[in-house]
A and B are shown apart, each in its own frame.
Chain A
Amino acid sequence: MLKIENLHATVGDTEILKGLSLEIQAGEIHAIMGPNGAGKSTLAYALGGRPGYEVTAGSVSFNGTDLLDMDPHERAAAGMFLGFQYPVEIPGVSNLQFLRESLNSQRGERGEEALSGGEFIKLAKEKAALLKMDMDMLKRAVNVGFSGGEKKRNEMVQMGILDPTLAILDETDSGLDIDALRTVGSGINAIMRQPDKAVLLITHYQRLLDEVQPDYVHVLAGGRIVKTGGPELAQQLENEGYEAIAEAA
């Protein structure tokens, strides 16, 4: 589904990603772990197409098309969802309005019919229930006045409604208490653990991986993947720390 080869990316004048390669197949869940400054968020932003995150070398193919050739909204329409580490506030715009416009733009881009108001509300209710989120929260302005945990759960509801094929979740677990972590984890499983979908989890910690069992765990250090293993690698990282493993690699 996603094939990243020798990706180099710079922010300003600094090269952050230095030849990162990674391949994700449909049905798989991958976790990327790594110390601060390793380039985890840069990877997410570069894949999302954020201006200022310049890809200087390498290639990324997404379901057979050249991802780097697409605008951010085209990447979204092609089925990529980015869960933000710091979800952004949009005052005066309700979640429902935001998501309905987003979804219908995506559908338009794909040549599909727009959902009517009724169809959309039905879909939103269904996904909110799945994540134990109050519909009232969907009526509030996007992330405005939300707690850290609410923002992250809101990201998951958005993911549920937009129904991507690939979700890249950037530290979705940060700022969550145990209960919220469980809700978010089960949301990811319910929405994304499908034979035709894939997830790239970016995280610091083991604890989200207890909720969402990854098929592969990668260690990102110095802008490259330095080690790849199964779920047991996450446990090893938790026990031994990044430094030891990055150095051993």
Chain B
Amino acid sequence: MANGVFSSSRAQIPERTLRTDKWWIQPLTTFTVLVSFIIYATFRAFENGNYFAEPLISPFYSPCLSTECVDGASLLGTPFGIIQLFGMTISPALLILIFPLGFRMTCYYYRKAYYRSFWFSPPACAVAEPHAKYTGETRFPLIFQNAHRWFFYAGLVFNVLLTVDAVLAFRNEHKEWGHLSVGTLVLIANATFLWLYSLSCHTCRHTVGGRLRNFSKHPLRYKAWTIVSVLNHKHQNFAWISLFGVAFADFYVRQVASGAITNFYFF
């Protein structure tokens, strides 16, 4: 039976959309970029190498929690032994990536992005979606989108750890403080972008003050909410910048760790 815009009571128009602009560019671009990132991140997560070159550590592998981690890469120790599955050694990255991955997967901005570009629900505004049935985020598995706040809290912990990594990068290969390299700048930029992404998050906005009814009774939280609201306007931008930032930081560390390039020191 005809449904949606083709329902019998509605204007009988056979086209799924009458939009004349290039509405498909945005979902196509989003799809391409996200798939590229997924391929790269999957490769790196399973590569299990080239993630540490004193004093730089890849954000994909920090904190490195397995006894398999290379010397110096374990900021928080090694509570996990070597884990094998089907005869394959599990990369230490796989122990931690669920948290940043979960944060981005449940992020309100990325939800919009991938619902449109991967699931065509809808592919663009006023473009009919192909699905016969729709229940939104009311049932398994999408009801788990409501866990966004838990990943947000976990993401803050990772931001702290990656900030510490950036601070530790003010050392040289011999662990002497007071040095600045290109890698230092890369890790600082990565941590900064991740903080901006997290602090501009809708859950952060809600947590700092959005849930209040009376701002006037909580002036400090109102101020915090106002600041986060300004950042929240740019959440989409921070989501993309931080995604590119973390991929580039990993790529840079990989190049240094593999010996393809040398980490240039300014002083």
Query: Is A bound to B?
Result: no
A residues in contact (CB < 8 Å) with B? none
User: Interface on B for A, CB 8 Å cutoff?
Assistant: none
